[in-house]
Amino acid sequence: MTICAIIVAAGRGTRAGGEIPKQWQRLGARSIAAHAMQPFVDHPEIHTIVLVLHPDDIDSDLWRDTPAALRVTGGDTRKASVMAGLTAVPDGTTQVLIHDAARPLVTAAIIDRVISALKTHQGAAPAVAVTDTLWHGAAGQVTGVQDRSGLYRAQTPQGFHLAPLLAAHHGQTDDATDDVGVARAAGLDVAIVQGDENNIKITTPGDFARATKLMRQDMDIRCGNGYDVHRFGPGDHVWLCGVKVPHGRALQGHSDADVGMHAVTDAIYGALGKGDIGQHFPPSDPQWKGAESHIFLRHAVGLARDQGYQISNVDCTLVCEYPKIGPHQPAMRAALAAIMGLDADRISVKATTSERLGFTGREEGIASIATVTLVKP
């Protein structure tokens, strides 16, 4: 069987508040949608991810932090958006898992249970049994009690065999609140698998704080430090944090001697326990002679992501008398942000002098210190 995950991110989520739709708002270092997608990306049985976007979002930068996926435009209703995702799945897909982009805490265990149930059922979905007493009410008063026997709170992902679900969608004209409703209306059997109380859907402003608290229970946070020095030599510019800065001398090194980017790179390697630039790109290897330092930084960022870490923030300090860093700070932050796939407001680049003391004070070179925080949700 070939399984595709469809992440529905075409809603507006106005009840959650905020200036942008809730799925693009941040939980820690990433958007809610990016958190919701990652477990499917990491799951060994999921072959493809389809991300369904609102027409207003398809050409925006809102989804840029999400993992790689097929991206399609959704419709005016949830049913129409799901149909857009279903028709976009690759040829050969036999089963689909449909997940709300507003559920950032789905786990591999939930996905496993849904996939397992599809071996014997046309559909399967996670749910949590209702345990609280349920009331009927009107005008602020209790008017009755509802028997909670056999009642469940539905969650996603909801999994189905593709062909019967497509037929069910084509045969139903009314909009449904979820795909289980569509499937049941078409007579498909849908198994209930154990959900998770933490698999919440972000709906109201208070849900952001709850989700953040739940994420922190299992969060792995690492910090790394990097330090680098390069001496001055002949030249008319220096490379600092990815920006070419005019200067009466150049920094000397085996690569382009970008002392700031080297410190940031070593900070990432340090947080991962992966040594330093010299171990990954030995100066004895001639292929790295004059190499642009973004090669090293991209490698470190890739290692972090391969191990499931997100870069939360970067703080880089350049120690020098000259050149003056202030006029170039915005460009440096933007350059690092582009290489690392971060928002510029998560990157700090600042400078200080050494009060004319030491080699930097004598203008013999530039030093850099960097700190990076990595987070694994």
Q: What is the predicted pLDDT for the residue at 374?
A: 95
- pLDDT digits over 255-276, tens only? 999 999 999 999 999 999 999 9
In the chain, what is the greatest distance between 2 CA atoms, to the nearest angstrom? 86
For the full predicted model, state whether its pTM sits above 0.85.
Answer: no
Count of residues making up the chain: 377
Q: Where are the domains of the chain?
A: 3-217, 220-376
Check for a shared fold between 3-217 and 220-376.
no
7: tokens are 């992440």
Rounded to whole angstroms, how far apart are CA atoms 14 and 288? 51
Tally of CA atoms within 13 A in the half-sphere of 88 that contains its CB: 23
- What is the pLDDT tens value at each position of the chain, 377 positions in all? 799 999 999 998 778 888 899 999 998 878 999 999 999 999 999 999 999 999 999 999 899 899 999 999 999 899 999 999 999 999 999 999 999 999 999 999 999 999 999 999 999 999 999 999 999 999 999 999 999 999 999 999 999 999 999 999 998 877 778 999 999 999 999 999 999 999 999 999 999 899 888 877 767 899 999 999 999 999 999 999 999 999 999 999 989 999 999 999 999 999 999 999 999 999 888 888 889 999 999 999 999 999 989 999 999 999 999 999 999 999 999 999 999 999 999 999 999 999 999 999 999 999 999 999 999 86
Are 107 and 39 contacting, i.e. CB atoms less than 8 angstroms apart?
A: yes
Burial class (CB in 10 A: 0-12, 13-18, 19+), 26: middle
Q: Which CATH number fits domain 220-376: 3.30.1330.50, 3.30.43.10, 3.50.50.60, 3.30.300.20?
A: 3.30.1330.50
CATH annotation of 3-217: 3.90.550.10
Full DSSP string of 237-279: EEEETTEEEE-SSEE--SS---HHHHHHHHHHHHHHT---HHH
pLDDT tens for 28-77 read 878 999 999 999 999 999 999 999 999 999 999 899 899 999 999 999 89
| E-strand stretches of 36-174 | 46-53, 70-73, 95-100, 123-129, 134-138, 141-146, 152-154, 158-161
Predicted pLDDT of residue 367:
98
